[in-house]
Amino acid sequence: MTQKKKPTRPTLQNIADRVGITKMTVSRYMRDPESVSESTRKKIADVSEELGYIQNRAPIMLSKSSSKVIGVLLPSLSNQVFSSFTQGIEVVTNAQGYEIIIAHFSYDEDIEERKIAFLLSYQVDGLILTSTSHTKRSLQMIKTAGIPVVEAMELPESPIDIAVGLDHTKAAYTAVKAMIDKGLKNISYFGARLDNRTQLRMEGYDRAMDEANLEKYHILTHKHSCFTLGNELLSRALSECPKLEGVFCTNDDIAIGTILACSEYGIRVPEDLSIIGYNALDIGQAINPRLTSVSTPRYQIGEKSAELLLASIQGERKERNIYDLGFTIKRGDSL
Amino acid sequence: MTQKKKPTRPTLQNIADRVGITKMTVSRYMRDPESVSESTRKKIADVSEELGYIQNRAPIMLSKSSSKVIGVLLPSLSNQVFSSFTQGIEVVTNAQGYEIIIAHFSYDEDIEERKIAFLLSYQVDGLILTSTSHTKRSLQMIKTAGIPVVEAMELPESPIDIAVGLDHTKAAYTAVKAMIDKGLKNISYFGARLDNRTQLRMEGYDRAMDEANLEKYHILTHKHSCFTLGNELLSRALSECPKLEGVFCTNDDIAIGTILACSEYGIRVPEDLSIIGYNALDIGQAINPRLTSVSTPRYQIGEKSAELLLASIQGERKERNIYDLGFTIKRGDSL
DNA sequence: CTGAAAGCGCTAACAC
DNA sequence: GTGTTAGCGCTTTCAG
């Protein structure tokens, strides 16, 4: 099962022996070269270069000092949204000498649990999650670990610790309201991969439609979101509601797919059909008509999450634990 | 600097104490519940559940046994291509009880070096890289670590250890040749973020153009690739070569952006301009005309990389160390 | 099936 | 500026 491995790597001891000092001095050099005398510094540098020293985090993890690493759990690696989010995190963490470990859980609570256990097993100093619904055991472990945790993107009513995100329901409501205010009546909601945020957006759609006393058309699929889905959902919507005038899509991929499908079917956007997407990705600006979309501050959410997490790791206690970073409607020509 | 942290987590010793056995038995239980007597098994299970035990990898990393973790270094998180690649890896690794740690290096050798050091500091059993050009120190560290390494996507002439990928130059050559065979003469190459694979594809373009004695039009940018770049590059290409008949794009994002720009400019694809992309992403099938693109087996490259890596970790030695997984041309209507 | 002892590589705390 | 000691939590022997 557990096979032996790897030719033993150079240790601080090895370096110390060669230089003729103790590993303690080498240890000091590694953390702060200035803390040793100039002559030893030079010798250590040479030997460690020659031996190709690689830090071993195990002992650091064992001693109960800070690991200077935070764990980031993303739903998926194929979503642009989370790459900006991660960039935002890293700008902050790198500046403070922290590294991140990335794992992903495919929008699945049980995989999330396994990955949380994995990240915690590395003694991370903090955790950034991108979901708000967790298994019982996940919650247990997080509590036991006793480290700060940020739940990002959504805003749960009672976060585990800190929450940074936006109100997806309100954003969806606002987008759909804009369609209604324009006089549209037959508006459909296109949803895919029915995760929590899709759900929240649907609630926003529902609220706006209910308020205006309009009939709701949920066109949903469990499939993973992609561009070609737009076509499929549009066909279904049209057969269910031939007089369709507007579509609010749970994300831009589907919205773009829908616009493209419209052009194939000879449906004019926005004259015959208005379309609003979610996330305001770059491609919405490349297409004609340009896509109107809910613009979400994911980069800023990443930054803010990291800032708050590091502050908490460093012992700062804030009053507030829920941070709503808002949204805007990116005006295109599809509404 | 290194502040104390976290309320100490439960250890095997804590569990052992509660049950009234030694931590050794608990350790055995954790690795194989069947290896302890049924009654102790039950007791350990209860207590460990109650205490919310979280594994601590530090000691395992310290003892020189296998960590059952492999490190995966991606160029970026925003590229669809690498999400399929990673999925391919995980299907194989999960099946064999391995976990992966993901890091990314933004197509930058120095960041790659830092991330390699980071992954190695966790005593990973193997490494999957997605670049073939590394700093001297990266190579040093990899050698010192003495673990198997796969370089994926490209096929370097002399890999560090194992290489799995495809011949990007040949793929590009084939694509451009297809345009030339169709009678096109004024063909341009659109490249962005000039990383190594972009370079290789350009060489394929060059070879095909040189062979046919045609003038080359390199339209390049250092910017990060995105959809809206298509428009920008197309404008530049048209001003440089007004009689442009074909464009070979280094990736689908740019190709799609170019198709969209064409429709704005009233350029008919493929009648006035042929376009070929690279990677055959889903969106190419959603657009009209459907994009002709080089289809790359990235999922399979991930699978194969993981298989070979794990085999090597387990001591299997293969004859071959370079695996070419080929490519196909996905026929659309843009050529 | 269970236990005892040693040790992995590093750092904190305390000398000198 | 540098050395000494102890110990982090687990697994690997080797015993029983």
Residue ranges per structural domain of chain B = 9-47, 68-166+298-326, 168-295
* 8 Å CB contact between A15 and A23: yes
Interchain proximity B58–A58, CB inside 8 Å: yes
Same fold, A68-166+298-326 and A168-295: yes
Percentage of chain B beyond pLDDT 90 is: 91
Q: What does the pLDDT average to over B189-218?
A: 95
Residue B65 has pLDDT above 90, yes or no: no
Window 32-61 of chain A: CB closer than 7 A to strand C? 55-56, 58-60
| Architecture of the A68-166+298-326 domain | 3-Layer(aba) Sandwich (3.40)
Q: CA B323, CA A14: separation in Å to the nearest integer?
A: 38
User: What is the phi/psi pair of residue A101, to 5°?
Assistant: -110, 130
Q: Which residue is nearest to nucleotide D7 (CA to C1')?
A: A63
Interchain proximity A117–B147, CB inside 8 Å: no
Interface probe with B: pick from A6, A32, A99, most Cβ of B within 10 Å: A6
Interchain proximity A144–B10, CB inside 8 Å: yes
Q: CA B15, CA B43: separation in Å to the nearest integer?
A: 9
Q: pLDDT digits over B207-257, tens only?
A: 999 999 999 999 999 999 999 999 999 999 999 999 999 999 999 999 999
Prediction pTM value:
0.93
The nearest CA of chain B is from the CA of A282 a distance in Å of: 6
- Residue pLDDT tens, chain A, 335 long: 344 445 678 999 999 999 999 999 999 999 999 999 999 999 999 999 999 899 999 999 988 778 899 999 999 998 999 999 999 999 999 999 999 999 999 999 999 999 999 999 999 999 999 999 999 999 999 999 999 999 999 999 999 999 999 999 999 999 999 999 999 999 999 999 878 999 999 999 999 999 999 999 999 999 999 999 999 999 999 999 999 999 999 999 999 999 999 999 999 999 999 999 999 999 999 999 999 999 999 999 999 999 999 999 998 888 899 999 999 999 999 99
Which residues on neighbouring strands pair with residue A102, listed in sequence order? A72, B102
* Per-residue flag: B64 CB under 7 A of strand C: yes
pLDDT value for B64: 73
Task: Count Cβ neighbours within 10 Å for each residue of B201-232 and write b for 16 or more, e otherwise.
Answer: bbbbbbbbbeeeebeebebbbeeebbbbbbbb
Interchain proximity A61–B64, CB inside 8 Å: no
User: Which tokens belong to A66?
Assistant: 């800070």
Q: CA A12, CA B329: separation in Å to the nearest integer?
A: 53
Note whether A34 contacts B: Cβ–Cβ < 8 A. no
Q: Strand D footprint at Cβ < 7 Å?
A: A 2, 21-22, 24-25, 28, 35-37, 39-40, 59, 62-64; B 8-9, 11-13, 23-24, 27, 30-31, 55-56, 58-60, 62-63, 65
* Per-residue flag: A5 CB under 7 A of strand C: no
Count the Cβ atoms, other than its own, within 10 Å of residue B163. 25
Q: Which residue is nearest to nucleotide C2 (CA to C1')?
A: B25
Assign residue B88 a region (left: φ > 0; alpha: ψ between -120 and 50; beta: otherwise): alpha
| Architecture of the B168-295 domain | 3-Layer(aba) Sandwich (3.40)
Q: How crowded is the C-beta side of A255, counted as CA atoms within 13 Å? A: 34
Note whether B102 contacts A: Cβ–Cβ < 8 A. yes
Q: What does the pLDDT average to over B113-118?
A: 96
Parallel, antiparallel, or unpaired for β A217-220 and A246-249? unpaired
Count the Cβ atoms, other than its own, within 10 Å of residue A16. 19
Distance A9 CA to D3 C1' (A): 24
pLDDT value for A2: 40
Note whether A96 contacts B: Cβ–Cβ < 8 A. no
Q: CA A34, CA B3: separation in Å to the nearest integer?
A: 21
Note whether A141 contacts B: Cβ–Cβ < 8 A. yes
Q: How confident is the model at residue B7 (pLDDT cuts 50, 70, 90)?
A: low
Interchain proximity A6–B147, CB inside 8 Å: yes
Please give the C-alpha separations between residue A55 and each of A30, A153, B20, B213, in angstroms, as whole numbers. Answer: 9, 34, 38, 54
Q: What is the mean pLDDT of chain B?
A: 94
Residue B49 has pLDDT above 70, yes or no: yes
Q: Which residue is nearest to nucleotide C3 (CA to C1')?
A: B22
User: Which tokens belong to A223?
Assistant: 């499939």
Q: Which amino acid is at A326?
A: G
If you measure CA to CA, which chain B residue comes closest to A57? B121
pLDDT value for B2: 40
The nearest CA of chain B is from the CA of A326 a distance in Å of: 23
Instruction: Locate all alpha helices (DSSP H) within B212-331, ordered by sequence.
Output: 229-240, 252-265, 283-286, 298-313
* 8 Å CB contact between B196 and B132: yes
Q: Which amino acid is at A221?
A: T
Q: Which amino acid is at A207?
A: R
**Is the Cα dihedral B21, B24, B25, B29 positive or negative?**
positive
Which residues in chain A touch residue B53, judged by CB atoms under 8 angstroms apart?
144
User: Which tokens belong to A288?
Assistant: 């004609």
How many residues belong to chain B? 335
Q: For residue A101, what are the contacts with CB-CB under 8 A and spacing of at least 6?
A: A69, A70, A71, A72, A119, A122, A124, B101, B102, B103
Beta strands in chain A (DSSP E): 69-74, 99-104, 126-129, 149-153, 162-165, 187-191, 217-220, 246-249, 274-278, 292-295, 322-324, 328-330
Distance B332 CA to D11 C1' (A): 58
Note whether B54 contacts A: Cβ–Cβ < 8 A. yes
Which residues on neighbouring strands pair with residue B189, listed in sequence order? B218, B248
Which residues on neighbouring strands pair with residue B295, listed in sequence order? B328
Which residues in chain B touch residue A9, judged by CB atoms under 8 angstroms apart?
144-146
Which residues in chain B touch residue A78, judged by CB atoms under 8 angstroms apart?
80, 83-84
Tokens 């519940």, residue located: B33
Interior CA angle at A177 toward A171 and A182, to 5°? Answer: 140
* 8 Å CB contact between B323 and B164: yes
Pairs across A and B, CB distance < 8 A: 191
Interchain proximity A5–B66, CB inside 8 Å: yes
pLDDT value for A7: 65
User: Which of A103, A264, A286 is opposite residue B102, by nearest beta carbon?
Assistant: A103
Please give the C-alpha separations between residue B19 and each of A11, A303, A326, B22, B43, in angstroms, as whole numbers. Answer: 38, 45, 51, 9, 6
Q: What does the pLDDT average to over B302-316?
A: 95
